[in-house]
Structure 1
């Protein structure tokens, strides 16, 4: 376990606290939360809407900081994460923990006061889901950690939507389901080319436990299953033709990127492996899909589509 000597001031600075919040991951969290808010039917005051998105961002950052606090020993053993603030020795673990708790509790409290306690409860569940259910329980115990744990990252559009409507309906649940189904092929594509790190620290990620062939097959299966889920907003009448056409093309491309991953036997070979191409496209896919949802709603509000 990497610990810090509390008698010595560690050279932590604002960049290290920012790093604890996983800002690259937070970008996608904030974007999908904003899209859920903008695509929802109804109206929310712009100031309240901005507070909702800020609380989603701060809550996600708090959960990420708690994740880094708990996994600091594991991070120290992996090349990809060894330079994070705690394993690199720039920050005390206790300070990171307290920072995560403060962000998490503060975001839930402000969300409740600004946007209602239903929205705040969903934010609190999402934080506990990631920091406790996924990080402490699922990740070190089962190769299904990403499948079940994918729910943690699926909350933002649900929260954004319900902040506007103040009720749980089928559409925000579908948005949750899209990210839930997207997470395994997205994350397993990453896990395929960093599996040595996970094996070294004993984390039972799918490629480590089930092997590459099984993981690749499951990536392709999930990509195929994701396509009808991504089309569900249109099937349910919650989105129009702009979304339908765009989602169809994006989902076909996602499957297309997944096919060579599913058929490949190993990660040996070219530097730009199919799994890396899939991982990068999967990020673009989710940004574009949720962007289309907002574009469709704006076009409908402007009377450009029925």
Structure 2
């Protein structure tokens, strides 16, 4: 259980602290990918229903963030990158964060089920549980593969968006899930290679700490290789098409090139040039995911005009 030994009662929380508790940067990815999943689905919701679905999925993402910050407050207080967060900084009490996380979880799940369908609500509930319990409370501190399995939580939003529209899970929804799921490890580990972290001090078994940087470099390459078939396969489904496939081929070729350079790179040389390759690959990984989902949207627009698809 989270143990925060001191709280500064005079350090009053501001509205921004409660927003930060919901991890708005992560929530933006949740909203975008869920919106794409909803918009490319073959069933189109009424605009009010669609807005409600995205709102409640976003609230569910925020609930996950609050629960994660509540549980991780002890290690957040140790690490330089996170010690300024609202709970370890003493601006929000742990009990407040827990209450907010639980309240938003209940509201988002129930309202999504009412606004769309029960399966979408159940999938959102499972996503919150997975991130807060399976990843935060169990995997994060138990295995260096934490980011791999835990990445599933970030991969569910487009599937939830699809299910909110259609009421069912399909191959297309699964491939959008796998695109994010397999993208997360090389994206995160590219960052870990150049970020000076203090996970070791917090006793969090990140791969760079437990297996070293050389093994981490190999993992970036092999997970990128494993990602490619899922990204390309989506191009041959109802949400893909020639535009998506052309974009995916180019994006995957560049991602593979960058991952290969990371794998074959000497650590001493990398440190000497300030990890330029690793930083470039990390930045490209953000563009890579964003453009894949933009390509899904382009294909949806083209299909609606009678010009897209196969």
Give TM-score scaled by structure 2 length: 0.94
Is the 2:172–2:238 Cα contact (8 Å) retained in structure 1? no
Is the 1:186–1:279 Cα contact (8 Å) retained in structure 2? yes
Distance 1:94 1:253, change over 3 A: same
Is the 1:20–1:68 Cα contact (8 Å) retained in structure 2? yes
Paired residue for 1:223?
A: 224
Structure 1 spans left out of the alignment, 5+ residues: none
In 2, the alpha carbon distance for the partners of 1:292 and 1:135 equals 32
Paired residue for 1:3?
A: 5
Is the 1:212–1:265 Cα contact (8 Å) retained in structure 2? no
Is the 1:151–1:180 Cα contact (8 Å) retained in structure 2? yes
1:273 deviates by: 2.6
Paired residue for 2:56?
A: 55
Quick check: 1:161 aligned with 2:162? yes
In 1, the alpha carbon distance for the partners of 2:100 and 2:13 equals 13
Is the 1:239–1:293 Cα contact (8 Å) retained in structure 2? yes
SS state of the match for residue 197, structure 1?
A: coil
In 2, the alpha carbon distance for the partners of 1:172 and 1:156 equals 10
1:238-249 to 2 correspondence within 5 Å? 238-249=239-250
What is the aligned-residue RMSD (CA, Å)? Answer: 1.5
Is the 2:68–2:136 Cα contact (8 Å) retained in structure 1? yes
The one-character-per-residue Cα deviations of 1:234-283 (angstroms, maximum 9, x if unpaired) are 23344110111011111111112212211123251223532222222111
The one-character-per-residue Cα deviations of 1:212-231 (angstroms, maximum 9, x if unpaired) are 11110110111122111101
Is the 1:65–1:99 Cα contact (8 Å) retained in structure 2? yes
Paired residue for 2:135?
A: 134
Paired residue for 1:29?
A: 30
1:89-168 to 2 correspondence within 5 Å? 89-168=90-169
In 2, the alpha carbon distance for the partners of 1:158 and 1:194 equals 31
* Runs of 4+, deviation exceeding 6 Å: none
1:4 deviates by: 4.1
Is the 2:194–2:278 Cα contact (8 Å) retained in structure 1? yes
In 2, the alpha carbon distance for the partners of 1:273 and 1:24 equals 24
The one-character-per-residue Cα deviations of 1:8-29 (angstroms, maximum 9, x if unpaired) are 3541111001111111111111
Is the 1:112–1:119 Cα contact (8 Å) retained in structure 2? yes
Quick check: 1:304 aligned with 2:291? no
Quick check: 1:275 aligned with 2:271? no
Give TM-score scaled by structure 1 length: 0.96
1:196 deviates by: 3.6
Is the 1:48–1:115 Cα contact (8 Å) retained in structure 2? yes
Paired residue for 1:252?
A: 253
In 2, the alpha carbon distance for the partners of 1:112 and 1:141 equals 33
Structure 2 spans left out of the alignment, 5+ residues: none
In 1, the alpha carbon distance for the partners of 2:169 and 2:303 equals 22
Paired residue for 2:40?
A: 39
Is the 1:4–1:92 Cα contact (8 Å) retained in structure 2? no
1:130 deviates by: 0.4
Paired residue for 1:295?
A: 298
1:188 deviates by: 1.2
In 2, the alpha carbon distance for the partners of 1:244 and 1:5 equals 53
Is the 2:127–2:156 Cα contact (8 Å) retained in structure 1? yes
In 2, the alpha carbon distance for the partners of 1:237 and 1:107 equals 29
